[in-house]
């Protein structure tokens, strides 16, 4: 196990950053504590045997994008490897939506195996959460997405195609099955 910040394991350090950065946030749509999301994605990757740096990165994968946690502090506390992985899965919020999504796909395409794993496990958990929300809210669930169902499906399909081309892993097949299920939702 890699160590960082004194005697703290890199995963524990990442968990601490996650709690500091996301502590009071809730997920849009279901109002659940945001912290559940990175933990569930981390568990999925841990089940597939990914190394500590990837598990640490997944715990903080939305920190740079969705919080005001200082980037310099993030890098100092978690190191270059975690920082590089997270940067590959961070959207550039200054760009228009479609351009931002295409840039994200290219960043993940050029990223490490860890970046690809985080991208797909994140999308899988988001879909699992969507299915639960859809069961409760029905078609109203689509209103929480900025560009609606069609553009959401377009983006997810583009991510799937890129991963099929660049990363042979069982998570890609799982994601493909979930996308088919999503396409059939009203």
Active site residues: 65-66
Please enumerate in sequence order all residues whose Cβ is within 8 A of that of 68, keeping only pairs 6 or more positions apart, or say none: none
């Amino acid at each position: 196990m890699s160590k960082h910040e004194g005697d703290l394991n890199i995963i524990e350090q990442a968990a601490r950053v996650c709690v500091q950065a996301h502590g009071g946030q809730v997920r849009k749509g279901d109002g659940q504590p945001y912290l559940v999301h990175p933990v569930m994605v981390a568990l999925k990757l841990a089940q597939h045997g990914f190394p500590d740096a990837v598990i640490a990165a997944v715990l903080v994968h939305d920190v740079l994008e969705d919080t005001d946690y200082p980037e310099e502090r993030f890098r100092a506390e978690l190191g270059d490897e975690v920082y590089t992985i997270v940067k590959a899965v961070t959207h550039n919020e200054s760009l228009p939506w479609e351009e931002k999504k295409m840039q994200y796909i290219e960043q993940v395409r050029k990223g490490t195996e860890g970046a690809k794993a985080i991208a797909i496990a994140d999308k899988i958990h988001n879909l699992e959460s969507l299915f639960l929300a859809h069961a409760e809210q029905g078609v109203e669930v689509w209103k929480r997405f900025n560009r609606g169902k069609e553009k959401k499906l377009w983006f997810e399909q583009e991510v799937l195609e890129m991963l099929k081309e660049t990363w042979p892993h069982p998570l890609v097949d799982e994601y493909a099955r979930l996308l088919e299920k999503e396409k059939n939702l009203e």
